[in-house]
Structure 1
Amino acid sequence: MPVPYIRHAIHDDEEALSRLDRVTWSPLHAVTPRPQPPYDPFFNERFGPRDHLVAELDGTLVGYVRLGYPTSLACNSHVRQIQGLAVAETARGAGVARALLRAVQDEARQQGARRITLRVLGHNTPARGLYESEGFVVEGILPEEFLLDGRYVDDVLMGRGL
């Protein structure tokens, strides 16, 4: 099986990233409604290409992770937060998500971060298992934070030191 190639996103990736975001949408991880045309741009004022690492397999973009700040407060600037992770269905099981998680932690360290955090829905067992296997621990739970498809779902806060 080929090893995922991880790199920073570039503007030319926008269409592929937008398409990937739409086809990987799932109530397992999304708190927003399924995207409908006309689609919003993938890159925006808040998150541009440099805030994304992408994964390629055999030259095809198959995943991304978005890294940002959890708040705009200066006293919180030592923390980075994973604010999006997606892997194409065809690339699942190839180590893409794990490679992206490891690369984004390296990126956060290079930016001077001391901690990295993320939020995951309580019912997303596969993602929680992956994060735990990469050293993330549950640091808080917001019980029944979201009402999704008629069910109340916990918002789980996870993090780790760098």
Structure 2
Amino acid sequence: MAEPSTFTAPSVRLAVPDDGPALGELDRSTWSTLHAVQPRPQPPYAPFFDDRHRPEGILVAEDVNPVGETVLAGYVRVVPPTPLACNAHVRQIQGLAVAGWARGRGIGRSLIRTACAAARADGANRLTLRVLGHNAPARALYEAEGFTVEGVLRGEFFLGGRYVDDVLMGRPLSP
């Protein structure tokens, strides 16, 4: 396997409807109680895109996998948190996944940075998210990208036999 320094930055683009099957597979392959509050997906699998989860709310990262193919390596879902006009200045990350083979290559960071830029270009001045308290790698990445903890819902979820905090994070999108 090549050294990380030989990897190029991933390409990030807006999702298209044809990405649905690959995104569904990525979602299933990365499922973990570290970040998921829903049970593990079981067949028959629901489509990745539906009326509430549309391609225009998803940014995808493409990168070269270990066998040399350019494939989807990750995604981030960035959408308005509510349909309210008084909340139109905010966007929320409602999903982030990076393929196991692609971790440690800067894909999550590229997705977050592109999400910030896209939200800013869409008129937002604030980006928020929720992350499980025990997901230390995700929390460290978000903090490194300027997110701060704005609230904690203690013991909000019962996962794997224990109570887990729901951590609310946010950051301004000023230039």
The correspondence for 1:129, drawn from 129, 140, 145, is 140
Amino acid at match of 2:138: A
Q: Percent identity among equivalent residues?
A: 64
Amino acid at match of 1:128: R
Instruction: Say whether residues 1:51 and 2:69 are aligned partners.
Output: no
User: Using the alignment, how far apart are the partners of 1:138 and 1:70 within structure 2?
Assistant: 17
SS across alignment from 1:100: helix
User: Using the alignment, how far apart are the partners of 2:160 and 2:84 within structure 1?
Assistant: 34
Corresponding residue number in structure 2 for 1:36? 42
Instruction: Say whether residues 1:159 and 2:159 are aligned partners.
Output: no
Q: How many residues are paired up?
A: 162
Structure 1 stretches of 4+ moved >2 Å: none
Stretches of structure 2 lacking an aligned partner (at least 5 in a row): 1-6, 65-69
The correspondence for 1:89, drawn from 100, 103, 115, is 100
Corresponding residue number in structure 2 for 1:107? 118
User: Using the alignment, how far apart are the partners of 1:69 and 1:153 within structure 2?
Assistant: 25
Stretches of structure 1 lacking an aligned partner (at least 5 in a row): none
TM-score, normalised via structure 2 length: 0.91
Amino acid at match of 2:95: G
Corresponding residue number in structure 2 for 1:70? 81
Residue deviations 1:13-72, cap 9 Å, x none? 111000000000000000000000011110010121111000011321110000111122
Corresponding residue number in structure 1 for 2:154? 143
Superposed CA RMSD in Å reads 0.6
Residue deviations 1:65-96, cap 9 Å, x none? 00111122111111000000000000000000
Corresponding residue number in structure 1 for 2:3? none
Instruction: Say whether residues 1:22 and 2:33 are aligned partners.
Output: no
Deviates more, 1:122-131 or 1:56-65: 56-65
Deviates more, 1:80-89 or 1:2-11: 2-11
Alpha-carbon distance, 1:116 to partner: 0.2
Larger Rg: 2
Amino acid at match of 1:63: G
The correspondence for 2:128, drawn from 117, 124, 127, is 117
User: Using the alignment, how far apart are the partners of 1:69 and 1:121 within structure 2?
Assistant: 20
